[in-house]
Amino acid sequence: MSEPSERKLAVDVRGVTRVYPGLVNALAGVDLTVEFGETVAITGPSGCGKSTLLHLLAAIDSPTTGSVTVAGQDLARLRDPSAYRRKEVGLVFQFHNLLPQLSALSNVEVPMFGTHASARQRKARARELLADFDLSGCEHRLPTELSGGERQRVAIARALANAPRILLADEPTGSLDSVSTTRFLELLDRLGGAGMTIVMVTHASDVAAHANRIIEMRDGTIVPSVPVSAAPIAYR
Ligand SMILES: Nc1ncnc2c1ncn2[C@@H]1O[C@H](COP(=O)(O)OP(=O)(O)OP(=O)(O)O)[C@@H](O)[C@H]1O
Ligand SMILES: [Mg+2]
């Protein structure tokens, strides 16, 4: 496959809109670039389009207008979208989306199907990831037999299964307790330090504080950031 010669951005979103049936303008003109190695936190009120934007980056949804380019690939022209989803990005869904009929171990193995990993390698990697998230002993439980926080940790482990270059995480700490949140933040710092690009949606300011950049969304658009020098003077 030919690689563009210019330096590639991890994410290049241009003029993107997403109109859902019923004329819901979930995204109303979004431009966003993220460099490789950046950790970006997206914040904003409920319904402002955060999950919609992550779904476009993960190529599980397409924009109504505009273009989405990830790691130099125009997602509208992907030859093999499932290979893209398997290799380039790991997505932690807001509501986990674990496969209900599969054990925790098998859920983490799912993204590794279709790769060169043998069954033995898949299981070893899945066990290792579950152990990283304090889930040893839960391997054979179904999602319904796990707590909300445990499910969320399985979902994070699954997103990391193929060591993606880009991690997309939608409220990854939404149902984690403070101990698990701290561990997740340590992991985030470790992954960011190792060069992974991370785009996460979060309402939690302590989580957003671990990002290099915080992006605020409102009504389907990105609120322009105000340089500190241009910020209005606060009067008494
Ligand atoms: N499948 C759909 N069909 C129609 N409208 C939808 C659909 N999915 C989302 N929406 C609408 O699009 C808008 C943006 O939704 P989105 O899920 O992106 O918001 P969000 O910022 O992630 O919110 P939250 O913080 O509550 O998760 C909302 O008004 C929502 O109701
Ligand atoms: Mg959402």
Cα(223)–Cα(226) distance, integer angstroms: 9
Residue 233's pLDDT is: 56
Two tokens at 205? 């300011």
Do residues 27 and 53 touch, judged by C-beta distance below 8 A?
Answer: yes
How many angstroms is it from 50 CA to the middle of ligand 2?
6
Atom 16 in ligand 1: residue holding the nearest Cα: 49
If we measure between CA atoms, which residue out of 227, 223, 170 comes closest to residue 199? 170
Q: What is the pLDDT of residues 22-54, one digit of tens each?
A: 888 999 999 999 999 999 999 999 999 999 999
What ligand is nearest to the CA atom of residue 170? Answer: 2
Bridge partners of residue 18, in order along the sequence: 27
pTM of structure: 0.90
What ligand is nearest to the CA atom of residue 217? Answer: 1
Cα(176)–Cα(174) distance, integer angstroms: 6
Residue 2's pLDDT is: 43
Q: Which helix (H) or strand (E) holds 205?
A: helix 205-208
- Can you give the pLDDT of all 236 residues of the chain as single tens digits? 444 445 689 999 999 999 998 888 999 999 999 999 999 999 999 999 999 999 999 999 999 999 999 999 999 999 999 889 988 999 999 888 999 999 999 999 999 998 899 999 999 999 999 998 889 999 999 999 999 889 999 999 999 999 999 999 999 998 888 988 998 899 899 899 999 999 999 999 999 999 999 999 999 999 987 655 555 555 54
End-to-end C-alpha distance for the chain, whole angstroms: 60
Atom 2 in ligand 1: residue holding the nearest Cα: 20
How many angstroms is it from 27 CA to the middle of ligand 1?
9
How many angstroms is it from 58 CA to the middle of ligand 1?
16
Instruction: Give the position, in ligand 1's atom list, of the atom nearest the Cα of 55.
Output: 18
Atom 7 in ligand 1: residue holding the nearest Cα: 20
Cα(161)–Cα(209) distance, integer angstroms: 25
